[in-house]
Amino acid sequence: MNGSAGINGLNSLLGPSGMSQVPLLPAALLAIGFPLALLIVTEMLNSSARRGGMLAPTLRVVRNLVLPALAAMLFVTEVWQVAPDQTASRVVRTLFWVSLLVCLLTLTNDALFGGRHQASMRERVPKLFRDLARVTLISIGAALIYQHVWQQEIGGALTALGLGSIVVGLALQEPLGNIVSGLMLLLERPLAIGDWIIADGTTGKVIEINWRSVHIESILHEMRIIPNVVLYKESFSNLSRPTEARTDTYDIGFSYDHPPNVVKEAMLGILRTTPGVITDPAPEVHTLNYGDFSISYRMYFTVARQEDVLPVRDAILSRIWYVARRESLQIPFPIQMEYRPSESPSLPQPTVEELLDRFPRYRHVRDAMLESLASNQAAAAAAGHAAPPPDARIVTYAAGEEIHGRGAPVDRFALVAEGNVDLLTLDAEGAEIVVASLGPGDFHGDATVSTGRPSDFRVVARTDVVQVSIDARTAAHWLQGSSGLAAEIGDTYVQRRKEAQRHRQRSVPRGSDPG
């Protein structure tokens, strides 16, 4: 009845006698105002679009939806004067309020996320949250329209909707599980747009969080879609938290012929000079394992972002080859080789004679040693037994390792062939200070017949050290033919002891060079 009455009313208005009943003022205002408003909004839209304004989408909705719907509603209700309870009136009013609701949603979206400065906010707020807020506003608007325009009670509709929701929920358990899991992830916020995560065997960057799943872009620029329920039920790693800095490791093996500290210093040099490796935390290199073919080392380095891991790792691995080639560091192949009993897989090591020959002033000691060694071997051969072990040998120490303890008996003479050694004593306050720093060609210990006196110094390797260690009495015997060198060694030994005594009697400023 209401629909037929509304149609009859329209027909009466459109008839010849009805034209005289049309209100002229509302009709004139609508005929002039609608085109004028459309023109003004169009100019505002063009101006905003040229400036890149954030209100351009809202103005476009106003021009295309709100103004036509408003004109239609005014035409039906004011010009045709259709009663509010008529279906035609309710339809046009519903269209107007729906278009106005769309306009308000567009305006809210533009105000929060439309500007350039709001780009970061758009990334921080998940798409799932935006969709949920949009659905909530639409539901509220639909309920108001249903109640005030159509004059219907919401309670009955909600009851029917509840019963329908039970049926739909039973039929769509898995999709609804993903939605609920997405909401839980949204509330807990263990990840956000832009975070790098490891989930379900995939490492990638989160680019979208929606109702059903999380979209991840892998390091190979592949799109991986992981359902929300998988992330909610299983564990995953967020590489962007608590900080964006990312620590990576790399294991590498070097030959047993190279001292570990030499290798670690070379690798640290690479890490410290590679662009992209940050200094806090500082890079580290640790001795990891003694394997079948090599000594394994683990390199630790940190970059500012996950995106920097691959290029920085590539730079580090490329530099390892060049540094290993320059420093003669061997990276063994995992192969099996056979050696005869007389062969050795190690690189040839320098002998005591070769190390002594590096320093011209010790060549007389070398000659005396060779002569003594030949004499001992001849005597042993004549007696029919093996020659005694040599009184001189090569020993190596790692940086920081103690070579000789303070107070220990001095019974050997040591010539530093490689590296640096510190002689340390105690001052009057009991603090340890450096009395002398020794380098290649310098010596410490004793070279006199009267050995065994307690040492005044603690001898520590400042770097990796290779030295020739000779029994003190033997060294005194070999120095008999070189009175000048023997006197120099004796004077230096006495001078160092006096320096130690002087420091024990008075305090010196910390960090000063005692000479």
3 state SS of 466: strand
Task: Specify the pLDDT at position 157.
Answer: 61
Say which residue, 510 or 444, is predicted with more confidence: 444
H or E stretch at 490:
helix 483-505
Task: Specify the pLDDT at position 247.
Answer: 92
User: What's the rounded mean pLDDT across residues 415-444?
Assistant: 90
Least confident of 421-430, 458-467, 501-510: 501-510
How many other C-beta atoms are found inside a 10 Å radius of the C-beta of residue 162?
A: 9
Rounded CA separation 459/449 (Å): 21
User: What's the rounded mean pLDDT across residues 181-186?
Assistant: 66
Output b/e per residue, 365-376; b: 16+ Cβ within 10 A: bbebbeebbeee
User: What's the rounded mean pLDDT across residues 109-124?
Assistant: 62
Peptide bond into 84 cis (omega under 30): no
Query: Tens of pLDDT along 216-259?
Result: 998 888 889 888 778 777 888 888 888 889 999 999 999 998 99
Task: Specify the pLDDT at position 513.
Answer: 44
Least confident of 79-88, 332-341, 424-433: 332-341
Rounded CA separation 281/302 (Å): 7
User: What's the rounded mean pLDDT across residues 10-27?
Assistant: 58
Burial of 37 (0-12, 13-18, 19+ CB in 10 A): middle
Please say whether the beta carbons of 6 and 88 come within 8 A. yes
For residue 174, what are the contacts with CB-CB under 8 A and spacing of at least 6? 229
Rounded CA separation 496/513 (Å): 14
Say which residue, 512 or 228, is predicted with more confidence: 228
Residue percentage of the chain with pLDDT more than 70:
78
* DSSP single-letter state for residue 454: B
Give the pLDDT band (50/70/90) at residue 169.
low
Task: Specify the pLDDT at position 52.
Answer: 77
Average pLDDT, the chain: 80
Triad 414, 416, 418: Cα angle to 5°: 150
Long-range contacts of 335-342 (CB under 8 A, 24+ apart): 335/293
Task: Specify the pLDDT at position 178.
Answer: 61
Least confident of 57-66, 291-300, 306-315, 364-373: 364-373
Least confident of 133-142, 174-183, 415-424: 174-183
Supply φ then ψ for residue 508, to 5 degrees.
Answer: -115, 155
User: What's the rounded mean pLDDT across residues 147-163?
Assistant: 69
Helices (H), 307-346: 309-326
Please say whether the beta carbons of 225 and 263 come within 8 A. no
Burial of 21 (0-12, 13-18, 19+ CB in 10 A): exposed
Domain(s) labelled CATH 2.60.120.10 in the chain stretch across 352-505
Give the orientation angle of helix 173-188 with respect to helix 127-148, to 10 degrees.
Answer: 110
Task: Specify the pLDDT at position 299.
Answer: 97
Answer yes or no: CATH 2.30.30.60 is held by domain 188-238: yes
Least confident of 18-27, 71-80, 323-332: 18-27
Please determine, for residue 145, whether its predicted confidence score (pLDDT) is greater than 70.
yes
Task: Specify the pLDDT at position 7.
Answer: 46
Task: Specify the pLDDT at position 261.
Answer: 92
> Global pTM?
0.55
Burial of 322 (0-12, 13-18, 19+ CB in 10 A): exposed
Domain(s) labelled CATH 2.30.30.60 in the chain stretch across 188-238
Say which residue, 245 or 13, is predicted with more confidence: 245
Give the type of residue at 484.
G
Domain(s) labelled CATH 3.30.70.100 in the chain stretch across 246-326
Please determine, for residue 49, whether its predicted confidence score (pLDDT) is greater than 90.
no
Task: Specify the pLDDT at position 467.
Answer: 92
Please say whether the beta carbons of 341 and 266 come within 8 A. no
Please determine, for residue 14, whether its predicted confidence score (pLDDT) is greater than 90.
no
Give the pLDDT band (50/70/90) at residue 158.
low
User: What's the half-sphere exposure (Cβ side, CA atoms, 13 Å) at 508?
Assistant: 19
Answer yes or no: CATH 3.30.70.100 is held by domain 246-326: yes
Burial of 455 (0-12, 13-18, 19+ CB in 10 A): buried
Say which residue, 371 or 73, is predicted with more confidence: 73
Say which residue, 344 or 492, is predicted with more confidence: 492
Task: Specify the pLDDT at position 18.
Answer: 44
Rounded CA separation 264/279 (Å): 17
Task: Specify the pLDDT at position 230.
Answer: 80
CATH number belonging to the domain at 352-505, selected among 3.40.50.2300, 3.40.50.11890, 2.60.120.10, 3.40.50.300: 2.60.120.10
Instruction: Find which of 76-85, 268-277, 373-382 is predicted with most confidence, using mean pLDDT.
Output: 268-277
How many other C-beta atoms are found inside a 10 Å radius of the C-beta of residue 126?
A: 22
Query: Tens of pLDDT along 266-296?
Result: 999 999 999 999 998 999 999 999 988 899 9
Rounded CA separation 299/284 (Å): 6
In the beta sheet, which residues pair with residue 425?
433
User: What's the rounded mean pLDDT across residues 373-396?
Assistant: 73
Please say whether the beta carbons of 58 and 110 come within 8 A. yes
Give the pLDDT band (50/70/90) at residue 19.
very low
